């Protein structure tokens, strides 16, 4: 991982009992479909179906966001998911993302959320 993260601030593998169950990416949103996301950090995650519903994604994403806030304080983060993905919509709300806009892409309605910049406390 670079000392000064630019395009890829973070890439994490999530394990359970020594086996990979998911991945979390924090990348710079360059060339994003929506202007509201352009240049911001973009949170992405993917978990195996057998890991769904146990809170692993919430715990791992929260830890990755805490890490990111320590590394790049004051940076907002965006997240995009399909509105039909109820679990991902719940996770976004739990992580503090609020809706910026909805748009159509990949033959489905998409949701773009923003997690405001977290400023370090004095």
- Of 79, 81, 82, residue with least CA distance to 108: 82
User: What is the rounded CA–CA span in Å between residue 114 and residue 122?
Assistant: 24
Residue boundaries of the structural domains of the chain:
10-115
- Kindly compute the dihedral angle of the four CA atoms of residues 52, 38, 115, 25, in this order, to the nearest 10 degrees: 40
Q: What is the pLDDT of residue 8?
A: 59
Counting every residue written for the chain, the total comes to 122
Q: What is the pLDDT of residue 52?
A: 93
Residue 85, C-beta contacts closer than 8 angstroms, at least 6 positions apart? none
* Residue percentage of the chain with pLDDT more than 90: 64
The mean pLDDT value of the chain amounts to 87
Rounded average pLDDT over 10-36: 86
User: Using one digit for the tens of pLDDT, what is the confidence trace for 45-86?
Assistant: 999 999 999 999 999 999 999 998 988 888 899 999 999 999
Reported as a pLDDT band with limits 50, 70 and 90, residue 121 is low
User: What is the rounded CA–CA span in Å between residue 40 and residue 66?
Assistant: 16
Among the four given CATH numbers 3.30.360.10, 3.40.630.30, 3.20.20.150, 3.40.1160.10, the one describing domain 10-115: 3.40.630.30
Rounded average pLDDT over 101-115: 93
């Amino acid at each position: 991982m670079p000392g000064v993260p630019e395009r890829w601030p973070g890439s994490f593998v999530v394990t359970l009992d020594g086996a990979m169950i998911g991945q979390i990416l924090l990348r710079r949103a360059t060339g994003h479909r929506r202007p509201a996301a352009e240049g911001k950090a973009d949170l992405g995650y993917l978990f195996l179906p057998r890991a769904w519903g146990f809170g692993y994604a919430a715990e791992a994403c929260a830890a990755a966001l805490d890490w990111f806030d320590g590394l790049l304080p004051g940076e907002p983060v965006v997240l995009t998911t399909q509105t039909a993905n109820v679990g991902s919509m719940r996770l976004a709300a739990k992580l503090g993302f609020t809706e910026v806009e909805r748009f159509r892409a990949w033959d489905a309605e998409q949701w773009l959320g923003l997690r405001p910049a977290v400023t370090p406390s004095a």
